[in-house]
Each structure stands twice: as C-alpha cells, then as structure tokens.
Chains A and B, each alone.
Chain A
Amino acid sequence: MTELAVDPVLVLLGVSPTGELATNAAELLGAAARIGTPVAVIIAGPGHGQDAATAAGARGAHRVLLAETPYVDSALTAQLVDGLVTAYERVNPSAVLIANSIEGRDVAGRFAVRTQNALAVDAIGVDRDAEGIIVHHSVYGGAYDVDSAVTFGIPVVTIREGGVEDRAAAANPTIDSLEYVQTGRTAATIVSFTPEQARSSRPALRGATRVVAGGRGVGSAEDFALVEQLADVLGAAVGASRVAVDSGYVPHSYQVGQTGVSVAPQLYIALGISGAIQHRAGMQTAKTIVAINKDPEALIFEIADFGVVGDLFTVVPQLVSALTAKKE
C-alpha cells in the first residue's frame, strides 16, 4: 500500500455496549483515508477495546487511541467528548469525522462548541484541494449537491450513515492508550441498556444495494410477509413508508424518507407506496426505481424506471415465482 498524506484525520468510532464496532466504521475510515491518515478514537466497554481496535485496523485505521470505560451507569456522551478532545489536542488533526448517528451528533455538537471549530453535517464525502478540505453534501432529498468548507480551524464533520462509498485498505494499527481528562460536565445518566432482539439475516437498510419497501397499500403487518418474500429472493433489505411504520406493520427503523433512513441503492422496489415527496426524499437517488401501485396517477410513477399499474397482491407473487424459477 502506498502511504497517503501524512495529515492525521481523527475518526471517532462507535462501539456497542456489547463490544461490536459500529458498522459505519468502514465508511468513516474510508472517508478519512481520502484526505489523510485515519487515526481512530475508540472508547469501548471494559474488555472490549482490543477487539474493537483490531476491527478498526481491518477497516483502515493506521493508529488507534484506545480507552475503556463502563457504559451503563455512566454519563451519556461525556466520555466520548472528553476522550475526543484529548485525542484532538494530542494528534492535532486536519479534520475530525464522526458518524451522523444519534450518539455521533451529540458528540459532534459538544466537541465543536468546546473546541470552537465549525461543523459540517450529514456529509456524503470529503475531499481535499489546494485550499483545504471540502465537504460534500446531498440536500433536499438528493435534489442538490452542495460543497462546504470552513473559514479556518478544522472541519468537524458528521458523515451520513450508509452515505460514503470510499473504503480504506486494511492497516496494522499502532494502538496507544488514551488517557483522557474527565471534565465531569453535567450529563444525563444511562440507567440501562436493552439489546435489540436477534437481528434478521437480511442486509441492513442503510447502505443496502437493493431495497424492497412497502407502504399503506400492503395493508397489514401479516401481509408485509409478501414484501419480505420479495426482498429475500432478491437478497434485499426491507424498508417502509412512514404510514406503514406508523400503522405498526414494521418497526420504526424501517422507515425510508426525509425523516427516516436515506438510501441510494442499485434497485429500489416500492410496493403500495404513493410516492409522497417526503418518501421520495429518502430514495430518489436510487439507480433503478421500480413501483407497483394500483393507482395509475400515483406520484411514485413520475420517478419510476419501471412502473406496474396493478394490484401488488397479484403482481408480487407472480414476480416472486418468476424470479425463483430463474434462479433454479
């Protein structure tokens, strides 16, 4: 591997309370590698640090600053911000990249204020030119590309989850322990953690290459099985409209759209979804869009590469058996 620019780029990597490195680590490190040398900051639960650091190396971290601290009973976000600030002072990076996750946004907001650096949010990539670092954003549901930069100081950037394609080559990181100053700022207390029930074997929605989504037209939680069947023949992730989620067909985390997940897959299949502008905002940058809807006037057809005016309960089963037949 050729050595990239020497500029360290600090990347905060999340670790779950059960010790898993957050899935967005690969894209955060990928983005960092594009503008410098990725230096990861990892603050994990007791006993989880080494594994997380090794995993970070496999995803391209050249150096890991590592600390361990208990999770439950601890102060929300405080350790992450204190640790990141110490790392920032130690490494003197040219940018700080943080996931645009719930936790990441909290850290980014506090870190920017504490270090008095400007923030660039929900980025889908970073680059460097003669004048410095450029941050790429995709706004208003992908209708516009916007570039931003900071006037001075370093950019603190939150990276959209599933938004970056760059990946860094695996590295063999040096691991240093991060002794950080605990500022003891007032914080909320984490009382308990409930792990999510066994995750399905389907691909995750964020960053999926194929997505099959269902809307109000699917009609019930039971009938959502049809959406899942099609997803499974295609090896696709499952998504939903807000109405489908609000009606309890599927969990909230399935929501695609302006206030849900933004996806940009190779293939997006919308079943019984009208194509409201807020839904389109989360999927209209998909490469190919397919829609099945019984209303010929449905807005989704305006952006569909292949639209079927028909009843999803007859079209989807036929599609599933045709695809299954082709596979065999």
Chain B
Amino acid sequence: MKIVVLVKEVPDTYAERLLNLETGLADRDANDRVLDEIGERAVEVAVSYAESHPDTEVTVLTVGPQTVPATLRKALAMGATSGFHVLDDALLGADLMLTAEALATAAERIGFDLIIAGDVSTDGNAGVIPAMLAERLGIAHATSLNSLEISDTDIGGERETYGGTITLTAALPAIVSITERLPDARFPSFKGIMAAKKKSIVTVDLADLGIDADADVPRSIIIAVSAKPARSAGIKILDEGNAGQQLADYLVQNRLV
C-alpha cells in the first residue's frame, strides 16, 4: 500500500508566537520550527500500519519553507520511507486554495492508496485542507477520526457529529484526517535517526507541478493585523485559611456571581 502523510512545519507553541504586523505572516524567527504534533500522530498511524504490512510505502508530504527538510527528517526517523517537499517563494503566505492545489497535485505525482492528515493544524487552525484535497482528487474523505482501521481495500473509523458519534467507512483511495485521540507519536530510535540520514527528500517547485500561483482565481488576503495588549497579573493571595472566603467576596464585589 502507498500511504501519503501530510505533515506541516509550524512554530513551536511552547513559546509565544508572533505575527509580523505589516504582512500578517508568522514571524518565522520568533519560534523554533517543529513538525506539527498532530502531523506526528498521523505519521505514527502510517508507520505502525507499515510495521505490520511490510510492503507499505510511507511518503511524508509537505508544502513549506526552506527549513522543512530538517523537520521532515524527524518523520523519516520515525520510520517513513521518503519525503516530498513543495518549496516555492510564491507559496509564502499562500492561502488555503493554493496550498490545497499544491498538496493535491503533489499527492497525485507521488501516487497513493491512502492519504493521512491531521484534523486541524496548529498555526492554520483551518481543518479544511483534507476535504479540499478530497474534492480536488475526486476521492472520499473521512475526517476528524477518533479511531481508524485500515484494511487493504478500505478504511473505517468513528467521529463526532451533532448529538453523537458516527461510524464511517470508505473504499480506498481515500483521505482521512485524525484527531489527538489517536496515540502519541513514538520517539525516533537511534537506529531510526541514522537510517533517516540516507532516506531521500524530493524537492519540487510550483513550475514542476504545473501550478501557476498568479492564476486568475480568488484569493483570501490579510488586510489588517493588530496585537492585543498582553494580559497582566492581578491580585495574588496566599491561602492562610480564608482564601475561599476572600475569593467569594471578590466574585460578589465584581458581580461575577
């Protein structure tokens, strides 16, 4: 089976993330660049399937900046077979339509039976890329799965819906996205890290994929950005036996009850 996993490099959320107030784009130097945690989980799903199905090929695919190969190595060290990187200046600040076009075209180029994505990316917070790819590729989507079973011919899983849970199945080829409910990603082993050094990452640009970033299609653009003033600390008391009472008084005085 050929599995393509969509992973994204994002600013590490363990530090405050910054936006450039003129361009509205992420300040790439403000944070370490890491593989999105949900993408690591998606890699975990693919790699653990591959462990029990030896003729599985796992390609990690990403659209992102020059720093990407370093983060892709982590996925390779976890056990992915190879990487595929779409790199192009025209993708800086790309909107969802352009990103989806690039990912869909690249996935077709790689070839796949199954595409696995994260449900929502930490920086984009969009959660729409998987459905956009499904529409472009003419395949089924099964998104935000809290559980996932993969067989040779189809996938199945559960997801939340209004008022309950639904069980889904789809014939392959298909695209799925997974939630945090799936297992944590493994830590790459030393052997995995060494092996990753020899694995290949293919880099292509938009011209290679036959995509014109300036095509006459509507784009979503940022027109204004402003920073909210940071919050500051207020009163802090040490409990000396009556903090519960003091807190109750505070809530009453401030009409919060």
CB neighbours (8 Å) of A305 from chain B are 234-235
CB-CB < 8 A to B15: which residues of A?
Answer: 277
B3 at the binding interface (Cβ < 8 Å): no
Interface residues of A in 257-291 (CB under 8 A from B): 258-259, 266-267, 277-278, 281, 284-285, 288-290
Closest to A143 in B: B228
Determine whether the beta carbon of A144 is less than 8 Å from that of B244.
no
Interface string of A119-157 (1 = CB under 8 A from B): 111100000000000100001101111111111110100
Q: Which of B16, B119, B159, B163 contacts A277 (CB 8 A)?
A: B16
**What residues on B are CB-neighbors of A143 within 8 Å?**
16-17, 19, 227-228, 230
- Chain B 231-257: CB-based contact to A (< 8 A → 1; otherwise 0): 111111111001111111111101011
A139-B19 in contact (CB<8A)? yes
Q: Is A308 an interface residue (CB 8 A)?
A: yes
The answer, yes or no, to whether B151 is at the interface (CB within 8 Å) is no
Find chain A residues with CB under 8 A from B52 CB: none
B131-173: which residues lie under 8 A (CB-CB) from chain A? 131-132, 134-136, 138-144, 146, 156, 159-171
- A110 near B: Cβ within 8 Å? yes
Q: Which of A27-35, A99-107, A170-178 contacts B (4 or more CB under 8 A)?
A: A99-107
CB < 8 Å neighbour of B223 from A147, A196, A267, A306: A147
| Chain B, residue nearest A235 (CB) | B257
Give every chain A residue within 8 A of B181 (Cβ-Cβ).
Answer: 252
In angstroms, how far is the closest chain B Cβ from the Cβ of A104? 9
Select one of B38, B97, B144 contacting A102, CB under 8 A. Answer: B144
Can you list 7 residue pairs at the A/B interface with Cβ under 8 Å? A20-B163, A119-B126, A143-B228, A151-B219, A191-B156, A306-B237, A323-B251
Binding site for A on B (CB under 8 A): 13-17, 19, 24, 38, 95-97, 100, 119-120, 122, 124-132, 134-136, 138-144, 146, 156, 159-171, 174, 180-181, 217-228, 230-239, 242-252, 254, 256-257
